[in-house]
């Protein structure tokens, strides 16, 4: 080992520490890992117990959507003379779908797609509840397309007006 190597190394460290930014000098690293295990309490009190709806938010949103959809579908089925019960069943399915769309974490990150999906589902439900017999699929898919465009337009106006 050469006698000048430790001196050169010390000089290099002094020059490097003087020229490096402060945040690089203060960087520290920790190489530790820990894991905490919590044992489940066999008899949790009612104050710490969460309700069914808190543990299952998707079920809650689908149930609320189905309730609203049932009432809306019954109204549409009655107004179009296609059957109140038929409209209520179609509305319940549509409302549950819309509830799931609104509770989706992925669609919450993409609001315009969420608006288009909501509009399409509502348009499809309206098309199914208002028509019966030949041509139902064509009318329903047309309603889904119009509903998707309307949902996208309403969402855009709501965000930019």
Assign 152 to helix, strand or coil: helix
pLDDT value at residue 23: 46
Distance in angstroms (rounded) separating the CA atoms of residues 61 and 160: 27
Q: Is the pLDDT of residue 115 over 60?
A: yes
10 in a structural domain: no
Crossing angle between the packed helical segments 84-103 and 57-79, to the nearest 10 degrees: 150
Task: Report DSSP state, residue 51.
Answer: P
Q: Is the pLDDT of residue 13 over 50?
A: yes
Q: Write down how long the chain is.
A: 161
- Asked if 141 and 124 count as a contact pair (C-beta separation under 8 A), the reply is yes
Q: How many domains does the chain have?
A: 1
pLDDT value at residue 52: 86
Q: Is the pLDDT of residue 12 over 90?
A: no
44 in a structural domain: no
Q: Is the pLDDT of residue 123 over 90?
A: yes
pLDDT value at residue 68: 94
Q: Is the pLDDT of residue 24 over 50?
A: no
101 in a structural domain: yes
147 in a structural domain: yes
- Under the banding of pLDDT at 50, 70 and 90, the label for residue 20 is very low
**Over the stretch 97-112, which tens digit does the pLDDT of each residue have?**
999 999 999 999 999 9
pLDDT value at residue 69: 93
79 vs 46, higher pLDDT: 79
Q: Which ranges constitute the DSSP H helices of the chain?
A: 4-19, 22-25, 52-55, 57-79, 84-103, 105-108, 111-130, 136-160
26 in a structural domain: no
41 in a structural domain: no
CA angle 110, 116, 119 (to 5 degrees): 135
- Asked if 100 and 107 count as a contact pair (C-beta separation under 8 A), the reply is no
24 in a structural domain: no
pLDDT value at residue 19: 47
Q: What's the pTM value of the predicted model, to 2 decimals?
A: 0.66
124 in a structural domain: yes
Domain extent for 141: 54-160
């Amino acid at each position: 080992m050469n006698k000048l190597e430790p001196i050169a190394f010390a000089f290099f460290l002094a020059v490097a520490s003087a020229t490096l930014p402060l945040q690089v000098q203060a960087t520290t690293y920790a190489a530790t890992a820990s894991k905490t295990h919590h044992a489940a309490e066999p008899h949790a009190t009612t104050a710490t117990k969460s309700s069914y709806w808190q543990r299952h938010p998707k079920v809650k949103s689908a149930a609320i959507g189905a309730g609203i959809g049932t009432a809306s579908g019954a109204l549409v089925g009655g107004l179009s003379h296609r059957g109140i019960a038929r409209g209520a069943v179609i509305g319940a399915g549509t409302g549950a779908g819309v509830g799931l769309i609104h509770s989706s974490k992925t669609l919450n990150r993409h609001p315009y797609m969420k608006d288009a999906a909501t509009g399409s589902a509502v348009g499809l439900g309206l098309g199914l509840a208002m028509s019966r017999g030949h041509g139902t699929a064509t009318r329903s898919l047309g309603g889904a397309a119009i509903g998707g465009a309307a949902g996208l337009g309403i969402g855009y106006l709501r965000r930019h007006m």
